[in-house]
Structure 1
Amino acid sequence: MIIEQQLHGYRQGHELLSGTIRLPPRDQDLVDRLSDLAGPLAPGEKFAPYLTCYPLPSGTHYVLARTWQDREAPRAGCVRTRSLIIPMVEWMSDVDPWTLSAVVTDVGPTAPCKRLSVEAPKGRPLPPVDGAGIELLEALFLEDSSAVAVFGASSPDLIALRILTAIWPSMRRRYTISTFCNSPRTIAKKSFDLVFAPIDARPNFSDWKGRRIDGSRSGSARHPWASRIVEAVFRAPHPSLSELDVFGEMAGDEEGSVQSLRLSMLWEELSRKVDVEPHAALGLLDIANTRSSRRADLVAGLTPAFARAAQAAVANFPPAEAWRFLQVLISKLGNTRWRLSLARSIRSLTASFAAQHPRDAVVAIPSLLEEEGGDFLLSGIAQGLSDAVPFEPVAHMLAELAGRNLLRTVLAAPELIPMTLGVESGIEQPLLHSMADASADERSQAHRRMLPHLVVDKHVDLLSDCLSEPTAQQVVSEVEHLLQANGLQQPMLNGVIVQVARRVGASRDILDVVVRAKNSDIVYTMLKDLIQPTPTDVDWILDTFKDADPRRATLLIDTLQEASRDELQSIFGRAGHLRRVTAVIRSDARSTELLARIAESVPMPAGDLLPLVIEILPDLAGRRGSVLAAKCLYEALVQGSDPSYDKQLATLIDRTGTEVDAQRAIRVGIAADLATPIVSRNLVLFDAAAPVTRKRFINELEALTDMVMARRTLDITYQAAEAASRMLWDSASVNKRGYVRASARLLPYVMEQHGPSASALLVAVFPPVYRELQQESLPEFLSFVFMFLDWDRCKIARRGLAQAALHSRWRPRDVAFAAARAGDAERILRTIAKRDGGMSFLTSVSNDITSIPEPAKKQVWRAIKQIRSDSSLRGKLPFDV
């Protein structure tokens, strides 16, 4: 190591005498000043050579100077000073201050300057410092940083060299020491860090703002760390504070601060206390968290101590303070692998602690969760709460937690959710409110955890929340779970499933699960609520349940009763479905109402509608049955004829009552384009209808007349013509004038028909016309019936009737019956008798006279008897021919 030097002394004053280096002006000015004596000497005062150590302002070199008193100088107070100019790099490395002090001393105060090559020997032990020193080291390293002045020290050079040797490089780089001065020394107006002065010089330090220490006095240690520092600096053969550097940071400290040393000392002290004073662990963590370079090694080494501190806190602190300690401990560890290494022991500890003091644990939860580290402790707390016996009081306490705290707590331990949900604690609503404040991830986790345990009705709101946004498959899986857990016997839970299934379109899949449950009123209700009045759901009922299963009919009825008109039309608009459903529900007493709605709402062929209406009519009271009967009558009238159908149709007509549209029924049922058998049947059934219904028909004479006359040929059966005749005849009692007009219209038509059916109508239409002809004033509408060429209109009518009767296949008894009703049987029959074949005609009447009802029969018999007794009939009477 090459060292430059300068020698200062008295020539024309105190000045540079020789040197091996030219320094910058500022650096040189400082060396020039500090090489001189500080403070005046008293007359005759002598002093031993002393050291002055300081950095140059440029920072390139450090100065270690030895000053001797120059007794040969011409004036008092002169000194000679040899300054070693040491490169700062070398000074901060392994240079030995003791060796440099020896070099400058050996060269002495007079030898001319030359460059020195110095090899610093390694490992040279230094003599110890006896006596005073504790107070000095406390002031330098353990108290607030300030300049120190030591008065009356016995070995200042040794003290200074040991301190320079012990301190770390960055501190040595800036450290300033003078082992003798009669007044304060400064650099750039800043006092030296450490100066030594005679006791007599103390008055010169009256303005000293730093610390004053009596170097002649042995003081006792005021700091617990002082003895360690004294041993390292003043006693050890090789002075070094690095041995106390727990963190290994002082060697790289750029600022030269004593803070690292103090923290190292504090670290060692806390490490010794951690087993008996748990809070010491927190202090260690605080220190470790400030030492980024060594943090990993430091914390890893203390992990067992942290565990012991936690155990001590739990064992000795009040519960609230213990929880606070654990929270602070975890928060200071942060999210690191060291916390993970402590996780098992801390979790076990907190679980045990919470189980022993559950109330205190629950009370602590809100404050713990407000601070960092609370989440880490929560899992252990939750585990401990789940182990508490009895558990029900714990559940009640948990229910009092506000906001997200409850949800975060029950999620912290898998066992806690089933336990809280399994007791009567009223926790369900608090849990629901807690989820409302939770994050999306927390809600999702809560839903997954809770669903397996939501199996009774008190959980209904929680289940609804858990299934707020499910997939169809998730809903099916939940129903499968509930089937296993409670057999679907919880109606409120079932209601949630039904609502969700409808929302996500999973009703059919849910039905396939529910139908496997043991039947009960609750399960049946769930089935009913899941089924909608749609064709596919109706088919599902029909296909799923066996004939013997009573649910088949009741579900069908319950489902269809809820259907709208459009829905019923959609369901039964398909071929065969009405018969299939009717066959299933027929035995149920409620089927009548349902079938009536179907008949009222669904357009269907008469072949389907009529049997349906016929079946339910006996059980439909009042007007509704009549309206329904009337509704299907008009379609039924045009259907083909067979005995069973005709019987049903007769029942239908009877039931229509006052609701029947008789005119429409007549125009539909006797339409000209309708087959003869159907028309004949309809006329017979109209006539045979119940009195109330029949009265409606006989009031529609015009329609009846129109429809009969619309048939070009009166091809209806004789029985049908008789029925029409009876209705026409009976209409006189309700509308005589209309009856007469109808008869007047029908008689010409009938007179032109040659079949026997015409004679049956003649019985009703001839009498009123004949009677009107007997009146003096003839209505205009009768003028078209006969061609009246004689003043005797009745004679013309008799002749026309006789002509038609003898030239057709009319039944003679009908002609006689009509004559009797006309009130002129003898004259009418006599007119016929006078014609060719007339007597044979009368014989036919006589043979069939028993079929003529009274009193007409008596009139006819009397007329025939009178005619036969008249001998004049053996020849023709010109008047009547």
Structure 2
Amino acid sequence: MPPTSIATQVHGYQQGHQLLASSIKLAKQDQSVIDRLSDVAGPLRPGEQFEPYVSAYPLPSGQFFILARTWQDLTVPRAGCVRTLSLVISTEVWAAAPGLRGFVDLLDPANFPSEATSIALSAAPPAPLPPVPEFYGSELLEALFLEEAKPVAVFDAPSPELIAIRLLTALWPAMRSSFAVSTFALSPRKIEGRSFDLIFAPKDARSRFAEWGGRRIDARGTQNARHRWTGAIVDRVFNAPFPSLLADQEMRLIGSEEINKPAALRIALLWDELTAKVGQSPSAALGLLDIANSRKEGDPTTFFALQPILAEATERAARTMPNNEAWDFVGAITRKMHRFPAVATLSSLAPAAMQLAARSPEGAIKLLSQPDPHGALSSLLSPIAAGIGSHFDGAAEKALLGAAPEVFTSLITTDSHLIGVVAKSHVLVEHIGDILPSVSSTTFEAVRDVLLPVLVEDAHATAATPLIASLDAEGISDEVRLLSRANDFASDTLVKLVLSRARDLGIMTGLRDVLLELEFSPSRDSFLGDTFSGDIRDLEDLLEDERLPNQFVAETLASALRRATANQFRDAFTDERLVETILQTLPTDNSDILWRAVNEINMPVALQLDVFVRLPSESNSQDRVALASRLLGQILRVRFGGDESASIAMLLNTIGEGLDGSWAVGQGLDRHLPNGIVGRNLVSFNEAAEPARTKIVRVVEELAHQLSDRYTLDLDEPAMKATNSLFIASQKTQQREFLSAAARVLPTLLRSRNTPVSSLIATTFPPVYRELAKEEAGPDFLKFIPFMDWDRCKSARRV
């Protein structure tokens, strides 16, 4: 390091005391102070002489500090004159100097000054200082540092310069840069109205300090120490080879408002005292924190230096104090650490807080429930949560149940292990569900983030319900994957909650995509199937998604239709395009769905027949017969496509013995029906199996009546053949009814000259003719044949 340049000034007598030489130009106010203080303080008595003395004081500008030596000048004729050499030192250099011997050496008392030059001050390590002989120093140091701050005058001190140099060396930078001392004065001295902090005076000058407001001390006297720190500071200042009152670490404790005051030393001494006591009395740590917090500017180094001390205190308190007292102590420590970095607080208190929380969870909850305006107690959340979770029992459960919602939620969102054990407690899960509506949105989201991953069972539904109901599309996807990993969708309740939320968000397609990305399992397919409701859009997606296996589609379709509401069911079975696909896809063993369709939905006849055909044939119950009868009544009067005759015959066969032949003939052969429909119905009647066909045959008279209501029979050949077959069957079993039917239909047949009626005429005419030939009056049924003369056979032939 290059040597420091020190400017000098020389003052002495020249027509009065004045500046004789200077290597620096100072501000007027600073120069005025040096001009005055370079002269001796107080008048010398005639013939009085003194040894060269030292003065040290700051200049008003604060830029420079003066270290001066004053000689009695016997070279001038005027008595009482002095010569003073003043070192003009940068305040910064003066304050930071590790030792002052280098400066003092520049003021060699053997060299009477005659000129002012800039002097190079070489950097050298400080040298040890000799002790002060026959000087106890207790009263002086007590007056300067441990009692009310007043200027001090010391009388009759041995080696005042050594005492002053030791004291200046021991002072910390801020105090040294403002401390004013003179090793010889015959009266009080001041700077800008402020008394010197310390002056040394001869014993016989004591009377000149009678009106002075400072402290007067007899250096030769002895006095017992009045303060517990007296011995310590005496050793530091007057006994140690390298005097020092405050170490660098101790100075960091001192705030800027006190760093240049004696109180700074008292703070440091109290700090050391409390630090030593922590091992026996944990409460001493509170005092240390008071000191640290009393500083306006917190020093991170101090905070971190306190960590092991506070950790020791809190751990000792946790081991030795009753639970309630220990929690009170931890709480007090925590509040006093509100200005500390969070990591320092946590590392200092975490072990004790965790230990106490495991042993006394109710105390932990009580502490966290207290007012905390600075948010200091929040630093304990993590260790308390870890402690409760590590020793979770009935007491912990009870404590959490009694905690305020914000405390409870803060704890469970802090520690993953605690949230895991809480999820295993049925009552706590229920409690979470109860309190969630009352927490803030921020807390709710925090709880959701940590809690949902462990809510995977039906028993968790109470807490999971509001959480799942708040998820967005991405959250739903994550929840689906979580439930898959956790237990392969073992919780039906949670699956339903996810389904409900996805449906509310309108993201069922996205939900299905996520499920299809997962590995196959029966549970996954069950969940996937539940995403399809009876809604027509869901059914369309189900039937059109090529990624889905056919069996899955069929089974899911049946399940969805069973769950469908009345409106959904109706929409599905009235959409002509969709219903055909439904009927083609639906498994054959789902007759309950088919029955619902035909009973609830007004479908086209063709679709009703399609449904009917799919109903199990063995279910020939009364309901099936009733359905067949209802369908028969519709299709006998309309065209509906396909093999219509076969379909009608099928229905007739289903009805069987329950068929009302007269009703069927009346519906199927009504004179208002088109000939083609009537012909088709006749073919169907004839193709019906027993006993339905027999029911038709037995009402051959009704059949003939319906046909005879038409002027002619414009029927095709299959229809006429079928009619002839029915008449022939009637002739074999019901001859009288046959004759009546033949007589009724014969005139219509004979008028149908363009229709293939020959076979039916051949069947009906001979019996009628024979009857006419037999009896003179003839039976009543022959009344349908008009007679034009007495020969009825002739009339019949004519007809």
Q: Give the letter aligned to residue 630 of structure 1.
A: G
- Report if the CA contact (8 A) 2:10-2:115 is conserved: yes
Q: Give the letter aligned to residue 637 of structure 2.
A: Y
Q: Counterpart of 2:415?
A: 413
1:54 equivalent among 52, 57, 76: 57
After superposition, the Cα gap between the structure-2 partners of 1:614 and 1:428, relative to the gap in structure 1 and judged at 3 Å, is closer
CA–CA distance in 2 between the matches of 1:354 and 1:413? Answer: 13
Shift of 1:191: 2.0
1:383 equivalent among 383, 386, 406: 386
Deviation per CA, 1:263-300, whole angstroms, max 9, x where unpaired? 5434433332232233444555676786999854x666
1:567 equivalent in alignment to 2:572: yes
Deviates more, 1:706-715 or 1:82-91: 706-715
Alignment of 1:654-733 (within 5 A): 665-666=668-669, 671-673=674-676, 676=679, 678-679=681-682, 681=684, 705=709, 708=712, 716-717=720-721, 719=723
Q: Counterpart of 1:516?
A: 522
Deviates more, 1:629-638 or 1:615-624: 615-624
- Report if the CA contact (8 A) 1:480-1:513 is conserved: no
Alignment of 1:31-50 (within 5 A): 31-39=34-42, 50=53
1:361 equivalent in alignment to 2:360: no
1:350 equivalent in alignment to 2:357: no
After superposition, the Cα gap between the structure-2 partners of 1:454 and 1:145, relative to the gap in structure 1 and judged at 3 Å, is farther
CA–CA distance in 2 between the matches of 1:261 and 1:421? Answer: 56
CA–CA distance in 2 between the matches of 1:754 and 1:26? Answer: 149
Q: Counterpart of 1:84?
A: 85
Shift of 1:80: 1.6
For residue 66 of structure 2, give the secondary structure of its aligned residue in structure 1. Answer: strand
Q: Give the letter aligned to residue 651 of structure 2.
A: Q
CA–CA distance in 1 between the matches of 2:755 and 2:116? Answer: 171
Q: Counterpart of 1:543?
A: 551
> Alignment RMSD, CA only?
5.9
Shift of 1:446: 4.5
Q: Counterpart of 1:268?
A: 272
2:311 equivalent among 284, 307, 311: 307
Q: Counterpart of 1:864?
A: none
Q: Give the letter aligned to residue 334 of structure 2.
A: Q
Shift of 1:37: 4.8
Shift of 1:415: 3.0
For residue 85 of structure 2, give the secondary structure of its aligned residue in structure 1. Answer: strand
For residue 62 of structure 1, give the secondary structure of its aligned residue in structure 2. Answer: strand
**Bigger radius of gyration among the two:** 1
Instruction: Tell me how many residue pairs correspond in the alignment.
Output: 748
Shift of 1:20: 6.1
2:326 equivalent among 319, 322, 326: 319
After superposition, the Cα gap between the structure-2 partners of 1:710 and 1:173, relative to the gap in structure 1 and judged at 3 Å, is same
1:646 equivalent in alignment to 2:652: no
After superposition, the Cα gap between the structure-2 partners of 1:743 and 1:41, relative to the gap in structure 1 and judged at 3 Å, is same
- Report if the CA contact (8 A) 2:151-2:198 is conserved: yes
- Report if the CA contact (8 A) 1:498-1:526 is conserved: no
Q: Give the letter aligned to residue 583 of structure 1.
A: T
- Report if the CA contact (8 A) 1:149-1:196 is conserved: yes
Q: Counterpart of 1:812?
A: 769
2:633 equivalent among 619, 627, 630: 630
Q: Give the letter aligned to residue 190 of structure 1.
A: R
- Report if the CA contact (8 A) 2:150-2:215 is conserved: yes
1:428 equivalent in alignment to 2:385: no
After superposition, the Cα gap between the structure-2 partners of 1:378 and 1:80, relative to the gap in structure 1 and judged at 3 Å, is same
After superposition, the Cα gap between the structure-2 partners of 1:66 and 1:459, relative to the gap in structure 1 and judged at 3 Å, is same
- Report if the CA contact (8 A) 2:54-2:67 is conserved: no
- Report if the CA contact (8 A) 2:683-2:718 is conserved: no
| TM-score of the two chains, using structure 2 as the length reference | 0.72
For residue 82 of structure 1, give the secondary structure of its aligned residue in structure 2. Answer: strand
- Report if the CA contact (8 A) 1:179-1:195 is conserved: yes
CA–CA distance in 2 between the matches of 1:444 and 1:125? Answer: 65
- Report if the CA contact (8 A) 1:245-1:264 is conserved: no
- Report if the CA contact (8 A) 2:386-2:415 is conserved: yes
- Report if the CA contact (8 A) 1:350-1:380 is conserved: yes
Deviation per CA, 1:369-405, whole angstroms, max 9, x where unpaired? 765554443333223223436x123212202222332
1:139 equivalent in alignment to 2:143: yes
After superposition, the Cα gap between the structure-2 partners of 1:370 and 1:620, relative to the gap in structure 1 and judged at 3 Å, is farther
Deviation per CA, 1:470-512, whole angstroms, max 9, x where unpaired? 6565454455457569x55xx6445425434655424698799
Alignment of 1:715-794 (within 5 A): 716-717=720-721, 719=723, 749=751, 755-756=757-758
Gapped runs of 5+ residues in structure 2? 731-743
After superposition, the Cα gap between the structure-2 partners of 1:810 and 1:210, relative to the gap in structure 1 and judged at 3 Å, is farther
Q: Counterpart of 1:398?
A: 400
After superposition, the Cα gap between the structure-2 partners of 1:498 and 1:245, relative to the gap in structure 1 and judged at 3 Å, is closer
Deviates more, 1:396-405 or 1:300-309: 300-309
Q: Give the letter aligned to residue 221 of structure 1.
A: A
After superposition, the Cα gap between the structure-2 partners of 1:757 and 1:172, relative to the gap in structure 1 and judged at 3 Å, is same
CA–CA distance in 1 between the matches of 2:788 and 2:208? Answer: 180
Shift of 1:128: 0.4
- Report if the CA contact (8 A) 2:423-2:460 is conserved: no
For residue 432 of structure 2, give the secondary structure of its aligned residue in structure 1. Answer: helix
- Report if the CA contact (8 A) 1:638-1:669 is conserved: no
- Report if the CA contact (8 A) 1:709-1:746 is conserved: yes
Deviation per CA, 1:347-383, whole angstroms, max 9, x where unpaired? 4443332222222122223349765554443333223
| TM-score of the two chains, using structure 1 as the length reference | 0.66
After superposition, the Cα gap between the structure-2 partners of 1:388 and 1:40, relative to the gap in structure 1 and judged at 3 Å, is same
- Report if the CA contact (8 A) 1:3-1:116 is conserved: yes
Deviation per CA, 1:655-714, whole angstroms, max 9, x where unpaired? 8989989998546995234595654556999998799x9999999x7x984585556999
- Report if the CA contact (8 A) 1:687-1:723 is conserved: no
Shift of 1:311: 1.4
What percent of counterpart residues are identical? Answer: 22
For residue 83 of structure 1, give the secondary structure of its aligned residue in structure 2. Answer: strand
CA–CA distance in 2 between the matches of 1:752 and 1:302? Answer: 124
- Report if the CA contact (8 A) 2:10-2:85 is conserved: yes
Q: Give the letter aligned to residue 423 of structure 1.
A: S
Q: Give the letter aligned to residue 230 of structure 2.
A: A
CA–CA distance in 2 between the matches of 1:636 and 1:278? Answer: 103
1:558 equivalent among 559, 562, 565: 562
CA–CA distance in 2 between the matches of 1:113 and 1:567? Answer: 118
Q: Counterpart of 2:459?
A: 457
1:584 equivalent in alignment to 2:592: no
CA–CA distance in 2 between the matches of 1:86 and 1:516? Answer: 97
Q: Give the letter aligned to residue 277 of structure 1.
A: S
For residue 57 of structure 2, give the secondary structure of its aligned residue in structure 1. Answer: strand
For residue 218 of structure 1, give the secondary structure of its aligned residue in structure 2. Answer: coil
2:224 equivalent among 207, 220, 224: 220
For residue 457 of structure 2, give the secondary structure of its aligned residue in structure 1. Answer: coil
